[in-house]
Amino acid sequence: MHLAVALDGAGWHPAAWREPRARPAELLTARYWIDVIAEAERGLLDFVTIEDGFSVQSSRTDQVTGRLDAVLIAARVAPLTRRIGLVPTVIVTHTEPFHISKAIATLDYASNGRAGVRVRVSGRADEAAHLGRRAPVDPLAPLAPLAPAGLLDEAADYIEVIRRLWDSWEDDAEIRDAATGRFIDRGKLHYIDFTGDHFSVKGPSITPRPPQGQPVVAALGHGTGPHRLIATSADVGFVTPGDADQARAVVAEIHHAGGGQVHVFADLVVFLGATVAEAADRQARLDERAGYAFTSDATIFTGTPWQLADLLLDWQRAGLSGFRLRPGVIPDDLEAITRALVPELQQRGAFRTAYRADTLRGQLGLGRPANRYAHAGSS
């Protein structure tokens, strides 16, 4: 079983920052993110994802507002971790693939092959207004500049461009021979000459091919359109089934559309305690502080780590590769994952007792892909 955690501020519950062990004064510090991701690595988790967006999390004054850039967080943490994968979120609707390909390739170098990227689309009017370069999407308007399906098509092109840019340098393009004065073999750099409905990018990249060849691409999907993007463009897909039967149907849909090559992880928000009553009381206290009952696009699990282990094993039989857990409160629920759930899964023989590879692709059992342009190279 593969396990990841999704990190967002003090936790996924909007009142998480008010818990006794939360560190609200440190949310915008490197030390906080270093500590949190180090805890995830101590639990042998495959990777962490780091949330990001172009709008504030809430307009309420009693909730966390403001965040750091996810790619820069990952780059800061990379040299201080050894094995865990680092997967920041990038909003592809309002960024350029050339820039992001370079940023994630750099992260792959900084982490020695542990980088990934989670692509996210945005049709929000407030996010579009921050950039001022395109009209927001109105999903009710049939002639909207980019209907939701159009955003997904654009995301597919975006991923294709960054993948081609990662391949635009062959692995041995750099010669670095001081004696002969040859630093690079120009014949092993390639124009990608991508022209599509959304981008026209000549290439090549200005960054050599990343250590993994292709850093891991991930996406979150609800429904057929996003599931198709996961199937055809991603290495890892995050989905939100309500039970094992729904998980089985989603996995079948994605594998049918993409040939079964993509890892499918189910997302769960978790509130964990030593007893069911303790976990329920914690969530109830958080809801009371927030002033409303917490809801999520993903299934909310409230209970003990041992009960969560039962659920994960049950859902895994539906064909899921693994799970991305969203801690309701950091550090409480993150530590319950790393210090209680993981040992329970290990005891049941369902989770490894050590990292098995140095790269994120290797950890996920994904081979290092061949360079699509290498056959065209010359010496």
pTM above 0.85, yes or no: yes
DSSP result, 341-371: IHHHHHHTT-S-SS---SSHHHHTTPPPPPP
The count of residues in the chain is 379
For the chain, the structural domain boundaries read: 2-123+216-376
Kindly state the percentage of the chain with pLDDT values over 70. 96
* Structure confidence at residue 376 (pLDDT): 54
User: pLDDT tens digits for 332-361?
Assistant: 999 999 999 999 999 999 999 999 999 999
Residue 149 has pLDDT above 80, yes or no: no
Residue 251 has pLDDT above 90, yes or no: yes
**Cα 166 to Cα 294: distance, rounded to the nearest angstrom:** 40
Let me know: does 103 contact 205? Beta carbons within 8 Å: no
Q: Which is the CATH superfamily of the domain at 2-123+216-376?
A: Luciferase-like domain (3.20.20.30)
Neighbours of 207 (CB within 10 A): 18
Query: Which residue, chain included where needed, has tokens 């023989």?
Result: 349
Nearest to 374, CA basis, from 191, 167, 183, 160: 167
Angle between the 244-258 and 224-233 helix axes, to the nearest 10 degrees? 50
* Structure confidence at residue 21 (pLDDT): 96
Residue 169 has pLDDT above 70, yes or no: yes
List Cα–Cα distances, 270 to 211, 308, 327, in angstroms: 34, 9, 5
Let me know: does 105 contact 166? Beta carbons within 8 Å: yes
DSSP result, 47-109: EEEE---SS-S-S-TTS------HHHHHHHHGGG-SS-EEEEEEEGGGS-HHHHHHHHHHHHH
**Cα 261 to Cα 237: distance, rounded to the nearest angstrom:** 11
Residue 140 has pLDDT above 90, yes or no: no
* Structure confidence at residue 138 (pLDDT): 58
Least confident of 174-178, 182-186, 256-260: 256-260
Instruction: Provide mean pLDDT across the span 85-93.
Output: 97
* Structure confidence at residue 80 (pLDDT): 97
**Cα 327 to Cα 267: distance, rounded to the nearest angstrom:** 11
Instruction: Provide mean pLDDT across the span 204-226.
Output: 96
Query: Which residue, chain included where needed, has tokens 């010669």?
Result: 175
Q: How far does the chain reach from its first CA to its final CA, in angstroms?
A: 43
Nearest to 95, CA basis, from 52, 59, 60: 52
**Cα 256 to Cα 252: distance, rounded to the nearest angstrom:** 6
Query: Which residue, chain included where needed, has tokens 């140095």?
Result: 358
**Cα 234 to Cα 264: distance, rounded to the nearest angstrom:** 10
List Cα–Cα distances, 156 to 119, 188, 267, 270, 323, in angstroms: 10, 26, 22, 31, 24
Phi, psi of 118 (to 5 degrees): -100, 115
Q: What is the DSSP letter of 166?
A: H
For residue 204, whether the previous peptide bond is cis, meaning omega lies within 30 degrees of 0, is yes
User: pLDDT tens digits for 292-319?
Assistant: 999 999 999 999 999 999 999 999 999 9
How sure is the predictor about 130, in pLDDT bands with cuts at 50, 70 and 90?
A: confident
**Cα 88 to Cα 198: distance, rounded to the nearest angstrom:** 23
Phi, psi of 88 (to 5 degrees): -75, 155
Provide the mean pLDDT of the chain: 94
Beta pairing class for 194-195 and 200-201: antiparallel
CA 5, 9, 10 angle in degrees (round to 5)?
Answer: 90
